[in-house]
A and B are shown apart, each in its own frame.
Chain A
Amino acid sequence: MWHRERILLLLAFVQSVLVVGWCFTEMEAGPGAAMSTQTNGDRFKIEGRAIVPGVKTQDWVSTARVLVDGEEHVGFLRTDGSFAVNDVPSGSYVVEVVTPTYRFEAVRVDITSKGKMRARLVNYIKTSEVIRQPYPLQIRSSGPHSYFMKRETWGWTDFLMNPMVMMMVLPLLIIVLLPKVVNTNDPEMRKEMEQSMNMLNPNPELPDVSELMTKLFSGSKGSSKAGSSSKGTRPAAKRRGKHSGASRAKKLSMQNNNADLDSWDQ
């Protein structure tokens, strides 16, 4: 309920703005309906011209119409792009040129009861705001309508700039480049690294998810391969317990306990 009140408040505000705007038109529309040169009784004529830059008028006028306040009054375009909507009583109207291909801005035209005309920008929120436009109307097309969405096409750049790919490529680079930078043959360094690895894996008894998975999927046949796939990061003791079934793998891992780290680094 509360936002309904808000709207009411807003509407009240708009209303107060409007009252000011309304006064303007009322004042200009004095009493009496004198005939101006282009009037016919108390009916008037809205004139103007529509231009599509760079396109011949013959190519688009046959599909164009001039709509005044929806379909309240309808006008057609002459072969040179100019138009006149006849038989319009005094009031305020939104005039738009409609074609399926080109986009035109709508214009608000005010006609006083004396037949005085003026054109201004359409502003539905501040309806009384006046930003003058030339009259007779000069409506330039701002280009063709854009009806279609662009298909997402697949390109190498899209692929490479994908965050997932980035996340995969960057660690790979580090893996490849890091051993080149750090000398792994230095025993002190190696010790340090081993320590830091242990730090990373604080609880060696806790089963790792990835390992659990490998165990699950590898089954009995691929255990040797699985062993090679998860080498290096974890202490040898733990792995030995795991792959007890495969003696060759055990031997390999025992032998290459330290070499594992190398191969991981390479």
Chain B
Amino acid sequence: MAELILLWLKCIILYNAVDAVFEDQVGKFDWRQQYVGKVRFSHFDTHVQSSKKVIVATENNVFAALNTRTGELFWRHVDKSGPEGNIDALLHHGQDAILVVGNGRLLRSWDVNVGGLNWEIVLDSGSFQKACLVGQQGTVKHVAVLKKNIISLHYLSNGHQKWIENLPDSETVDYQTVYSGGNGEVYALGIVPHSHIVIIAYSTDDGEIIKQISVEAPWLSNIVASCAVIGQGVLICVDSATPSLYMYNLNPNMDDLQMTQIPLQSLGLEVAPDFQPVLVSHQPNSAHQPLSEFFLQLGPDNFLLLQFNNGQIVTLRDFKPALLVSFATTGEKTIAAVMSPKNKTACSINLFSAETGRRLLDTTLIFVMDPNGGKPEKIYIQPFLKKDDSVGYRAMVQTEDHTLTFIQQPGRVMWIREEALSDVVTMEMVDLPLTGTQAELEGEFGKKADGLMSMVFKRLSSQLILLQAWISHLWKLFYDARKPRSQVKNEVTIENLSRDEFNLQKMMVMVTASGKLFGIDSKTGSILWRHYLNDVPSNAAFKLMVQRTTAHFPHPPQCTLLIKDKDTGLTTLHVFNPIFGKKSHVTPPALPQPILQSLLLPLMDQDYAKVLLLVDDQYKVSAFPSTKNVLQQLQEMASSIFFYLVDSSQGRLSGYRLRTDLSTEQIWEVVIPMEIQRIVSVKGKRPNEHVHSQGRVMGDRSVLYKYLNPNLLAVVTESTDTHQERSFVGIILIDGVTGRIIHEAVQRKARGPVHIVHSENWVVYEYWSTKSRRNEFSVIELYEGMELYNSTVFSSLDRPHAPQVLQQSYIFPSAISTMEATLTEKGITSRHLLIGLPSGGILSLPKMFLDPRRPEIVSEQSREENLIPYAPELMIRTEWFINYNQSISRVRGIHTSPSGLESTCLVVAYGLDIYQTRVYPSKQFDVLKDDYDYMLISSVLLALFFATMISKRLAEVKLLNRAWR
């Protein structure tokens, strides 16, 4: 019976705690953007003339089809991240796309139309080199895969292996490429560097070696980099040392043992100094031989279109300057597209006939380069035949900043995809500035020196301004109402950006791994500014800090991005305005030494910029900005500035104190033995977090005070021993000022990855239990006890009593990708945990469920406290998904930010996709809900009003009648 009641109670509580999205709220204040990542391979779907698809395979292990008209996704498949899901090759034939995945581990065939898998097979082990389609008598039926030591042939229809052969002498010969000209043979080309090329011809039918030959080539080191196959099976290589072209006919009837040398000088050509020439050939159809025309790149901006004709090389056209070239085929026509710089901000693309090198008329396309973007890197051409048999085309240009731009003639940009956003590293949400009128009103309260009369005048004038603004707003409403709805567009531009009533609209400043910064409007998701930093090292770590918010008009807001090279530790600062994206006039200090730690102090200089302290490897501290005022403040404050350093390679945590001369002094050190465990992460609390109540009221009306130490660090360690019986996860709570270990917990038979959230007086972490093979959550809460030691101020140095520690663990029925807690303006609203799941959902789990005081046996007191009875398993309810069916792939981070409304927390989840929404952890208690029934309340009021009128009248009549009786 008791259990029944318990269950019933649980159900009720669960039902009440539901915080879900209503169906009519879809898209009202949330948006999602889906990305694919930096494109590695791309093919236009050509097997249907009217196809609108372009298929892309990316460096983020994503395979997708994009709509060429809109740039949106038709479908997308996200494989495992890391080398196991790496896409090595993409071959496209008809409506099938063949992928080689995971260094030649898997071969997959996809149906491009549906986006479903046709088949998947496992290939024999060996490092992948190259794959190609093999045609015979005009049809393509096979795919050949070349690995380090084997070559295999598979059917396109079902992936079955037709034959597999060991490559001869694979220990000495480096087989690099495979080629098929559609004549029933497959050639494997290998090389012994600086000695000779090995050419093996296999029969497509049974894998028998038709011919095996080795050709002297002492000048050659890499086939892929400097060779290509052209025409009727002629291998052509370029050597920069001699400099000359070498040719060899692969045709089995020929038995030359030498390559024919053609010095480039004999063609009147010259190689740019220190440049490795590159050959570009084109095979329009795998069932047929490649073109005899090919490009030869002789310098960074010099391309030549050459033709191989009866053993002779003819120069068709010299392109200088040219940035990029590409071949494309439609029907029977093959064209060569050349991109050449026009002026500083634009490039032009022109088409040339591949056979003759003649320029095609009316094929110029202007590509305007974004001054805040990168240089063009790759160009993909989608040609099509017009009705009059001339060639038209569209072009997709990929730039260094991972942007895809799709352009139509004569230069109309159809869409832009900012693929850099698939790899957001860190972000901040910055308040929008006030409008002119708002700033005027604020200004009224700023100065106090004015006299009474001028104050009155100011008051009146500001009221007038308000009235004016209101009337113009009304007029606009009226004006818009007359227009059809589709025409009314609230375009957000950088000019009309302003803060809304409740500060719900903010500027999302996003930093991506490629070094491109974005400013995104949080309401609509439109990109308002972008800025590409082109000198960012590939392995950089970023830290974004808001030094000055928009609150200090007329000083512009200021953000500082710290870019640190992970190898050298050298750091640069990029200071910019987060609203407009422009680089600030403030010159950041040059930092010659590697930087270990950075701190944003609550101190401000006379221009209201917060002070950033940087600690270098000599433990010297430098400040930015470093004006006299700042240095003076620092000297005064130095005794209360402490910082910590983590050296995870040596397992050392150390605390330092700032001296008045800006040198430092070590005050504590904790060494975690490296042989047993290693430090995985160190988490402090968020500096902008507010805690509203100091304690919790218990069932017996006493108060349990929270241990709110702002200097508390949660250190997560993992055992170096990964055996499932001996592995463990440790958590150490340590005071960052004194180095005092507040609490230590060990989870035995557990391993990472550990996800942790540290906030208020609690730490929630999640780990994998190796014993039970499940994910578990654990929560630690710290309490001071029934009495507060010093209720006015918290000092780490004066806290004699150790806090009470409560801990409880739960089972979680899914793996998790990331975790964050909601954050609100004043911290009154109850907290939820936002958990990113691998399935793409973001679960909003009330913190109430992770409360170590959840009782096993319900008592009167626990019921009064609203504690949920303990249940080992936490539930995942799809109603708690804040992003309903808008799955977010590979969630890497969740950023929460308070809004002007206490009930509302702004959430941005980023990974491969970006999703922005609002959550109301305690429902919308401070504004009318959007489903508030105005009709009902007004009709009830009216009805009551009339009822009183009528009944009053009736009563009067009755009284009168009675008086006359």
A residues apposed to B, CB below 8 Å = 1, 3-4, 6-7, 10-11, 14-15, 18, 22, 40-41, 43, 45, 57-58, 61-63, 65, 67, 69-74, 76-79, 83-84, 86-87, 92, 96, 98, 100-101, 103, 106, 122, 124-125, 127, 145-149, 151-152, 154, 225, 228, 252, 256, 259, 263
Contacts and interface: CB of A to CB of B under 8 A. Distances in A.
Given A124-B772, A124-B774, A77 B886 contact: no
B80 A74 contact: yes
Nearest to A262: B962
Contacts of A96: 839
Contacts of B84: 87
Interface of B: 18, 20-24, 75, 77-81, 84-85, 102, 105-106, 108, 111, 114-120, 122, 125, 771-774, 806-809, 811, 813-817, 838-840, 852-853, 855-856, 870, 872-873, 878-879, 881, 884-887, 890, 931, 933, 936, 952, 955, 958-959, 962-963
Given A69-B815, A77-B116, A100-B886, A148 B809 contact: no
Contacts of B114: 58, 61-62, 79
A81 to B, nearest CB: 9
B116 A259 contact: no
Given A4-B807, A127-B774, A147 B122 contact: no
A124 B810 CA distance: 11
21 contacts: A4-B852, A6-B856, A11-B809, A18-B771, A18-B772, A57-B116, A67-B838, A71-B838, A74-B79, A74-B85, A78-B117, A78-B118, A79-B118, A98-B839, A98-B840, A101-B885, A147-B21, A147-B885, A148-B22, A154-B933, A252-B959
A61 B113 CA distance: 12
Contacts of A103: 878
B774 A70 contact: no
B879 A71 contact: no
A183 B309 CA distance: 124
A11 B884 CA distance: 35
A256 B958 CA distance: 13
A62 B80 contact: no
Contact of B870 (A3, A62, A87, A127): A3
B106 A87 contact: yes
B931 A125 contact: no
A14 B772 CA distance: 9
B75 A63 contact: yes
B873 A124 contact: yes
A70 B884 CA distance: 19
Given A67-B838, A149-B18, A73 B80 contact: yes
Given A15-B771, A125-B873, A148 B21 contact: yes
B24 A151 contact: yes
Contacts of A74: 78-80, 85
A96 to B, nearest CB: 7
Nearest to A38: B122
B679 to A, nearest CB: 24
Contacts of A45: 122
Contacts of A98: 838-840
A103 B879 CA distance: 13
A252 B933 contact: no
Nearest to B855: A3
Contacts of B838: 67, 70-71, 98
Given A3-B806, A79-B114, 6 more contacts: A22-B771, A78-B116, A78-B120, A98-B838, A125-B872, A146-B878
Contact of B22 (A76, A78, A149): A149
Nearest to B776: A124
A58 B116 contact: yes
Contacts of B111: 79
Contact of A147 (B24, B881, B936, B952): B881
A77 B117 contact: yes
B115 A62 contact: yes
B80 A71 contact: yes
B69 to A, nearest CB: 19
A61 B106 contact: no
B16 to A, nearest CB: 12
Contacts of B963: 252
Contacts, number: 153
Contacts of A122: 813
B955 A40 contact: no
B773 A127 contact: yes
A119 to B, nearest CB: 15
Contacts of B878: 103, 145-147
Given A76-B120, A147-B879, A228-B955, A127 B22 contact: no
Nearest to B874: A124
A72 B772 CA distance: 17
B122 A87 contact: yes
A151 B79 contact: no
A156 B807 CA distance: 49
Given A15-B771, A127-B773, A86 B120 contact: yes
A61 B105 contact: no
Contact of A86 (B18, B122, B816, B873): B122
Interface centre among A1, A3, A151 (most CB of B within 10 A): A3
Contacts of A83: 117
B957 to A, nearest CB: 12
Contacts of B814: 70
Contacts of A62: 75, 77, 114-116
Nearest to B807: A4
B73 to A, nearest CB: 10
Nearest to B881: A147
A147 B813 contact: no
Nearest to A17: B772
Contacts of B872: 10, 125
B158 to A, nearest CB: 11
B922 to A, nearest CB: 16
A228 B106 CA distance: 92
B62 to A, nearest CB: 12
A152 B931 contact: yes
Contact of B773 (A65, A92, A151): A92
B364 to A, nearest CB: 38
A145 B881 CA distance: 11
Interface centre among A1, A11, A148, A228 (most CB of B within 10 A): A148
- Nearest first, the 3 A-B pairs at minimum CB distance are A70-B815, A62-B115, A79-B116
B561 to A, nearest CB: 30
A11 B747 CA distance: 12
Nearest to A252: B963
Nearest to A60: B116
A252 B963 CA distance: 7
Nearest to B79: A74
A79 B117 contact: yes
A51 to B, nearest CB: 15
B85 A256 contact: no
Given A87-B105, A125-B811, A149 B75 contact: no
Contact of A127 (B772, B809, B855): B772
Nearest to A85: B120
Contacts of B817: 70-71
A45 B886 CA distance: 30
Contacts of B102: 87
Nearest to A86: B122
Contacts of B75: 62-63
B808 A7 contact: yes
B893 to A, nearest CB: 16
B806 A4 contact: yes
Contacts of B85: 74
Interface centre among A69, A72, A74, A106 (most CB of B within 10 A): A74
Contact of A100 (B23, B773, B885): B885
A148 B20 contact: yes
Interface centre among B75, B118, B809, B839 (most CB of A within 10 A): B839
Contacts of B936: 154
B809 A145 contact: no
Nearest to B812: A124
Nearest to B26: A148
